[in-house]
Structure 1
Amino acid sequence: MSTSPGLRERKKARTRATIQREALKLFQRNGYAATSVEAIAAAAEVSPSTFFRYFPTKEDVVLSDFVDETTIERFVEAPPELSLTEALTYAVRTGIASLPEEDFELEHLRNRLIREVPELRRGLLAEMMRPMELLADGIGRRLGREVDDDVRMYAGAAIGALTLLEPSYHDVKDADPRALLDDIVERTKRLERILVLPDPD
């Protein structure tokens, strides 16, 4: 009997998550530059070729899923009476609340690595296009409207606000990760005062 697509996809998702989790643990223990793809693959109990099937480069294991499809689904499915920025806050808060403590700490580490490692900072600029497109699609689905230039510009501004943290966080390695993510949520709320999505023509 063949394995159903649902089971295959869940197995792939578990493998992907395991690789990311083990990579972040190694980065925390040994440093980003000193950690090889071979070491990550060994820790995740996969071959290097399997690693590269999920992540084309070592940078991708940190940058992938910076804003993921699950967050966008929470945004789309948020209570209908919420505004766009309120729905985004809801999605972020719900995602934070659902994380086990270990994964929460690893997310904090991931954010710190992106701020501190030059090649990751450069990679984030390219990676931001993917979450912008995801959010723009989510806005179109939530509002039942075409994803036009206004929607894309709104999504780009929102993702930019979520990824540009206050300078005071940049050099604080031991900052409380809860406070850091509270800052992300607060930024989402502030978007309500700054961004207005015009009605379609």
Structure 2
Amino acid sequence: MAEQIGLRERKRRRTRQTLIHTGLRLFAERGYDQTTVADICAASELSPATFYKHFPAKEDIVFADYPERVDAIRALASAPRPGESLESLLRRVFAVALEPGRWSIDPAEDLIVIRTQLIFAVPALRAIALRWLFDIQHEWAKALREAFPELDDITAHALIGAMVGALASAGRAAIENGRHGVALIEDITRALDVAMAGLPHHPTPRQEQAGATPL
């Protein structure tokens, strides 16, 4: 039974990835507004019913990895390892955010370039991206403050805002300069290093304040 569940889940993920890859490439080739759900289904050789099992609308393909990234990084940010510093936690969190092969839209593949170009070319997608950006920063800042109670709201939000802003802005600049794959990840990582230069020193993680003994 466990094997059957595993096979079913793998098939579900493959179908979802097919829709993401096909949809993004059609958006790039034909234009976002000119591409319909029916076009994506035809090119994927999948039914509209299958499409809507995975995505409520075509714009959700563009942001397919956002919900999983938000949840995973919020969980990481709220639970530092025993004795882990703020800088170490943030570096680990954003290393995971950029980890190749982990996400449905991989930062090491050209789909990330297509997605970025679409967001800045299509006003409706830019509006959705901005909403996600604000929500992401709020969620991650709350998680960071939970992990490090000495951080006040302003500091936690400023830190996360600086990191997310560095990722988004440097990523766009790198893509405009023709960087992709490993080179793109390197450029974004360097931008995150610059943003981390303003980190406050030595806030105490929640576990240590509660008397936990570092491993």
Question: When the two structures are superposed, what TM-score results if normalisation uses the length of structure 1?
Answer: 0.70
Instruction: Name the CA shift for 1:148/1:17 in 2 (closer, same or farther; >3 Å).
Output: farther
1:93-172 equivalences under 5 Å are: 93=98, 95-96=99-100, 104-129=109-134, 131-132=136-137, 135=140, 139=144, 143=147, 149=153, 153=157, 154-165=159-170, 168=173, 172=176
Q: Match for residue 52 of structure 1?
A: 52
**Equivalent residue of 1:193, what SS?**
helix
Instruction: Name the CA shift for 1:21/1:167 in 2 (closer, same or farther; >3 Å).
Output: closer
Instruction: Name the CA shift for 1:9/1:60 in 2 (closer, same or farther; >3 Å).
Output: same
Q: Percent identity?
A: 30
1:169-188 equivalences under 5 Å are: 172=176, 175-178=178-181, 179-188=183-192
For structure 2, the residue ranges without an aligned partner over 5 or more in a row are 210-215
1:20-59 equivalences under 5 Å are: 20-59=20-59
Q: CA deviation at 1:134?
A: 6.2
Measured against aligned partners, the alpha-carbon deviations of 1:104-123 in whole angstroms (never above 9, x if no partner) come to 01121112211222111111
Q: CA deviation at 1:39?
A: 0.8
Instruction: Name the CA shift for 1:166/1:62 in 2 (closer, same or farther; >3 Å).
Output: closer
Q: Match for residue 213 of structure 2?
A: none
Question: When the two structures are superposed, what TM-score results if normalisation uses the length of structure 2?
Answer: 0.66
Distance 1:127 1:54 in 2: 19
Aligned Cα root-mean-square deviation (Å)? 4.3
Instruction: Name the CA shift for 1:44/1:22 in 2 (closer, same or farther; >3 Å).
Output: same
Instruction: Name the CA shift for 1:4/1:89 in 2 (closer, same or farther; >3 Å).
Output: same
Q: CA deviation at 1:34?
A: 1.8
Q: CA deviation at 1:166?
A: 7.2
Structure of higher CA gyration radius: 2
For structure 1, the residue ranges without an aligned partner over 5 or more in a row are none
- Which stretch of structure 1 is more off in the superposition, 129-138 or 119-128? 129-138
1:71-82 equivalences under 5 Å are: 72=73
Amino acid at match of 1:114: I
**Taking CA–CA contacts closer than 8 Å with sequence separation of 6 or more, which of the two structures ends up with the larger relative contact order?**
2
The total of aligned residue pairs comes to: 197
Amino acid at match of 1:191: A
Distance 2:134 2:10 in 1: 26
**Equivalent residue of 2:117, what SS?**
helix
- Which stretch of structure 1 is more off in the superposition, 51-60 or 115-124? 51-60
Q: Match for residue 86 of structure 1?
A: 91
Is the contact between residue 41 and residue 47 of structure 2 (CA under 8 Å) also seen in structure 1? yes
Of residues 174, 190, 193, the one that matches 1:189 is 193
